[in-house]
A and B are shown apart, each in its own frame.
Chain A
Amino acid sequence: MTGADAAPGRRMTMIEAINDALDVMLARDPMVVVLGEDVGYFGGVFRATAGLQAKHGRTRVFDTPISECGIIGVAVGMGAYGLRPVPEIQFADYIYPGLDQLVSEAARLRYRSAGEFTAPMTVRSPFGGGIFGGQTHSQSPEALFTHVAGIKTVVPSTPHDAKGLLIAAIEDNDPVIFFEPKRLYNGPFNGHYDEPAVPWSRHPDSHVPEGHYRIDLGTARVVRAGEAVTVLAYGTMVHVAREVAERQGIDAEVIDLRTLVPLDIAAIERSVRKTGRCMVVHEATRTGGFGAELAALVQERCFYALEAPVERVTGFDTPYPHSLEWAYFPGPVRIGEAFDRLIAA
């Protein structure tokens, strides 16, 4: 339960919280514009921008041609003028045509112009699987962005955090990739796909305060305190790992990283020094994944506190499958056995 629970607000899904964050920022800052495929009149294929064009006008919230290269490229130009564009890429799987504008341009603009020009944009994009979307609606490409110098990468896991993080991202003067786990849009997901879906309204972190609030980028959150093992996770896997710890009765400390770059290294060190055991979990493919970076950091900084090798639990190194989605997904068995190995070591 977060302290914000006391503030006036209401229960929201993650989609509603993202919509609310955009609404707040459009109202507060005339420099904010929202653009992307189908985001205008229709309000986005996931409804994240529903109602925003009608409220804020067609030159603040508008549809774009189907060109991710163009969407990111014009956002760089808008940023150069002084706007704060919030482009939406309809699925993270479709961000690749925009990669040159992101990696070569947005990420390095401040550096190459010695601060004369910046790219204060927040690229929102639904990511991750668990919805039978096949290989082109399920990917988690965060490591492609964390590898690039000059881009911040944010992944929320609750409605409360989604709103506060998105506001902080929009107010940030550097380019931010904001990956929204689409499996969490309408409810938390604990990894048990064969059990009935749970709505956000029954989850404490669906309480979303009214108006403006920020969750500073680079701050992790302890979702569940524990002494036996530290779990480093983000997005959907926060909920899955936590559920496994609870069902297996493991005294795990689950940390929701929330921001991958810049990382809350102090929170990680504090926890791992306490527990001496660490598991990193992500849905993305394993090789070269962000888990590798986390594991390296933990052993560099906490080596003498470690009582077991760091466990990496991830998706497999294959494209995201369709019919075998749940064989691919790093679910309760994969996580549970990693817990067992850590505790036994």
Chain B
Amino acid sequence: MTAGNLPGLRLHVPEPRFRPGDAVDYSTLVIPPAGAQPRPDEVCAASETHPLCLDLVRVLGDDDRAHGPWNPALDVATLLRMLRLMALTRAFDARMVRAQRQGKTSFYMKSTGEEATSVATAMALAEDDMVFPSYRQQGVFLTRGYPLVDMINQILSNRADKLKGRQLPIMYSARECAIFSISGNLATQYPQAVGWAMASAIRGDTRIATAFIGEGSSAEGDFHSALTFAAVYNAPVVFHVVNNQWAISSFSGFAGAERTTFAARAIGYGIAGLRIDGNDPLAVYAAVRWAADRARANAGPTLIEHFTYRAEGHSTSDDPGQYRSAAERAEWPLGDPVDRLMRHLMALGEWDAERQAAMDAAVDGEVRAAMRAAEANGVLGHGLHHPFRTLFEDVFETLPWHLAEQNAQALHERQVKWPDWSDDADLGDAP
């Protein structure tokens, strides 16, 4: 197999630095001081941002103060709103996992530790900018005011679920909040966001599009198609890569992180790129506002890497203790986004532990009340909550003959299985 004296080739297979039981050491992770990164003008040449693709934009320092040119200088009311939305997202996640454990639904995915990436992003965008999320941006829905009860109805797949029990929990759709229907097929939303942005430009609109993806999914071809189209048409789109270090059990090295950063993909495509501290809500806000202003000024797309950490399992089906060290979360050098913003407000003298505890209780109460209201509409189970005809609706705009026949078949089978099921039941009531 070998020719002459040439050495045999070797395959490199990435391996994360820490596995279960290992002590962790993040001293090799380069974390520049907050405030040290330059902020170019929004309409600069893309290449001016490229050094920032290998840097880390940070605003909140170890002293809990905001530093440097990226400081968005938000007023206290806005900071408090941000804190509350992140706390609400966290409380919501905790309660939904509990519901799944109680057998009220099949599945859930938390965003713990990543709340800033979605909440601060949504706050920095205009309300009607179109968002193409992955499945871990519940913070965007909450920030845009999508009702908690509607989210929970979807999670419980109950008879009030606006998606008619068709989708896996958390795969929401919220057109009225300018949020696109979530797909389970990774990365598909990326080129779709570019298409929406191109359409907005074709029509001379002022709204931009934004898309989220996990670092693991950035390996999909759709990611690269999206960046190519965005670069070619200078599309008004902001791309987010949420680098939370893990894609189920695969660390970021399996998406290329051993070689360069995810933000650095922007360099190859010749678009603007920023690598930011994703656990710093002020840095997230400032970067997204910068990129949104750039897109709105017809200065082109931006790729933002949010450097963060997935603090919990991938989903309720996952046990991260099988493949990563539990110490990673505790030692994560960029801390926790909720905690950091809370301490910032305390350092400003605008907040204290008592008010924080009251707020935590208030958001939990809000979620609990919504849970009660949603549960009144039923929980997932074999009660088959939705009218059977909804199974056949929306496959097409109108019902073709074969689906009409299959609808009749389904109703007939229900009659055989549950003879007492009244016809009214098909309008929404389970037996």
Asked if A318 and B403 make an inter-chain contact with CB atoms under 8 angstroms apart, the answer reads yes
Contact with B along A12-36 (1 / 0, CB 8 A): 0000000000000000000000000
The smallest beta-carbon distance between A199 and chain B, in angstroms, is 20
Q: Which residues of B contact A56 (CB under 8 A)?
A: none
Binary contact track B258-292/A, C-beta < 8 Å → 1, others 0: 00000000000000000000000000000000000
In Å, the complex CA distance between A37 and B214 comes to 14
Chain A nearest CB, measured from B241 CB (Å): 13
Are B392 and A59 interface neighbours, CB within 8 A? no
Whether, in the assembled complex, B390 has its beta carbon less than 8 Å from a beta carbon of chain A, the answer is yes
Contact A323 B11 (CB under 8 A): no
Asked if A66 is at the interface (CB within 8 A of a chain B CB), the reply is yes
Q: Report Cα–Cα, A21/B392, bound state, in Å.
A: 41
Contact A135 B184 (CB under 8 A): yes
Q: How far does the alpha carbon of A141 sit from the alpha carbon of B368 in the complex, in Å?
A: 40
Q: Give the residue of B19, B186, B406 whose beta carbon is less than 8 angstroms from that of A41.
A: B19
Q: Verify A316–B392 contact, CB threshold 8 A.
A: yes
**Are B168 and A136 in contact, with the CB atoms below 8 A?**
yes
A96→B403 CA distance, assembly (Å)? 25
Contact present for A132 and B185 (CB under 8 Å): no
CA distance A59 to B185 in the complex (A): 28
A70 in the interface, Cβ–Cβ < 8 Å? Answer: yes
A93 at the interface (CB under 8 A from B): yes
B414 at the binding interface (Cβ < 8 Å): yes
- B344 adjacent to chain A (CB < 8 Å): no
How many chain B residues have a CB neighbour from A under 8 Å? 56
| A345 within 8 A of partner (CB) | no
Once the chains bind, are B416 and A323 in contact (CB under 8 Å)?
Answer: no
Q: Is the CB of B413 within 8 A of A134?
A: no
Q: Is the CB of A334 within 8 A of B217?
A: no
Q: Which residue of chain A has the shortest Cβ distance to B317 in the bound complex? A: A45
Least CB separation from B381: chain A residue: A323
Given that A66-B247, A323-B165 are known contacts, is A97 also in contact with B222, CB under 8 Å in the complex? yes
Give Cα A137–Cα B168 distance, bound, in whole angstroms. Answer: 9
Binds B, one of A115-123, A214-222, A324-332: A324-332
- The residue in chain B whose Cβ has the minimal distance to the Cβ of A45 is B248
Q: Tell me if B208 is interfacial: C-beta within 8 Å of chain A.
A: no
Q: Are the CB atoms of A334 and B413 closer together than 8 Å? A: yes
Closest to A61 in B: B13
CB A189 to nearest CB in B, in angstroms, measures 15
Tell me if A38 is interfacial: C-beta within 8 Å of chain B. Answer: yes
9-residue interface stretch from B73-81, B249-257, B359-367: B249-257
Encode B6-48 as 1/0 by CB contact (under 8 A) with A. 0000010111000100000000000000000000000000000
Contact B167 A318, beta carbon cutoff 8 Å: no
Contact with A along B391-421 (1 / 0, CB 8 A): 1100100000011001001100110110000
User: B residues within 8 A CB of A41?
Assistant: 15, 19, 249, 323
Size category of the A interface is 35 or more
- Contact residues in B for A321 (Cβ distance below 8 Å): 165-166, 391
Interface residues of B in 312-356 (CB under 8 A from A): 317, 322-323
> In the complex, which residues 193-242 of chain A have their Cβ closer than 8 Å to any Cβ of chain B?
193-194
A319 interface contact, C-beta 8 A:
yes
Known contacts: A323-B385, A334-B413. The answer to whether A66 contacts B186 by CB under 8 A is yes
Closest residue of chain A to B251 (Cβ to Cβ) is A63
Q: A134 touching B410 by the CB < 8 A rule?
A: no
Bound-complex Cα distance A139 to B284 (A): 38
Check A66–B384 contact: CB distance below 8 A. Answer: no
A323-B385, A333-B416 as given contacts; A66 in contact with B219, CB under 8 Å: yes
CB proximity to B under 8 Å, residues A76-95: 93-94
- Cβ distance B163 to chain A, nearest Cβ, rounded Å: 9
- Given A64, A134, A194, which contacts B184 in the complex, CB threshold below 8 Å? A134
Tell whether, in the assembled complex, residue A93 and residue B185 are in contact, meaning their CB atoms are under 8 Å apart.
Answer: yes
Are B410 and A327 interface neighbours, CB within 8 A? yes
Separation in Å of the A52 CB from the closest CB of chain B? 14
Q: Contacting A132 at CB < 8 Å: which of B158, B219, B380, B417?
A: B380
Mask for A54-74, Cβ within 8 A of B = 1, else 0?
A: 000011001111111110000
Docked-complex contact A323 and B384, CB < 8 angstroms: yes
The answer to whether B186 touches A323, judged by C-beta atoms less than 8 angstroms apart, is no
- Report whether A69 and B386 are in contact in the complex, using a CB–CB cutoff of 8 Å: no
Chain A neighbourhood of B184, CB < 8 A = 93, 134-137
Pairwise interchain contact B185-A323, C-beta atoms closer than 8 A: no
Q: Which residue of B lies closest to A132 (CB)?
A: B106
Residue B220 lies at the interface, judged by CB distance under 8 Å to chain A:
yes
- Flag whether A309 is at the interface (Cβ < 8 A): no
Point out which of B185, B216, B247, B385 has the most chain A C-beta atoms below 10 A from its C-beta: B185
A136 lies within 8 A of B406 (CB): no
Is the CB–CB distance between A193 and B220 below 8 Å?
no
Q: Judge whether B388 is part of the interface by a CB distance below 8 angstroms.
A: yes
State in angstroms the CA–CA spacing of A133 and B106 once bound together: 8
- Measured CB to CB, the closest approach of chain B to A144, in angstroms, equals 15
> Which one of B322, B384, B388, B402 contacts A287 once the chains associate, using CB atoms below 8 Å?
B402
* Interface positions of B (Cβ within 8 A of A): 11, 13-15, 19, 106-107, 157-158, 161, 165-169, 171, 183-187, 216-217, 219-222, 247-250, 254-256, 317, 322-323, 380, 382, 384-386, 388, 390-392, 395, 402-403, 406, 409-410, 413-414, 416-417
What are the 9 tightest A-B residue pairs by CB atom distance, in nearest-first order?
A: A323-B165, A136-B184, A134-B168, A65-B219, A42-B249, A132-B106, A323-B157, A67-B219, A58-B13
Listed by A's residue number, 25 A-B pairs whose Cβ atoms lie within 8 Å are A65-B216, A66-B186, A67-B220, A67-B221, A132-B107, A134-B167, A134-B184, A135-B184, A136-B184, A316-B392, A316-B406, A316-B409, A317-B395, A317-B402, A317-B406, A318-B391, A318-B392, A318-B395, A322-B165, A322-B167, A323-B166, A324-B384, A324-B386, A327-B388, A327-B414
Taking Cβ atoms with an 8 Å cutoff, the residues of A that contact B are 37-38, 40-42, 45, 58-59, 62-70, 93-94, 96-97, 132-137, 193-194, 286-287, 316-319, 321-324, 326-328, 331, 333-334, 337
Additional 5 contacts, C-beta under 8 A, given A63-B14, A334-B409: A42-B323, A63-B13, A133-B168, A286-B402, A324-B386
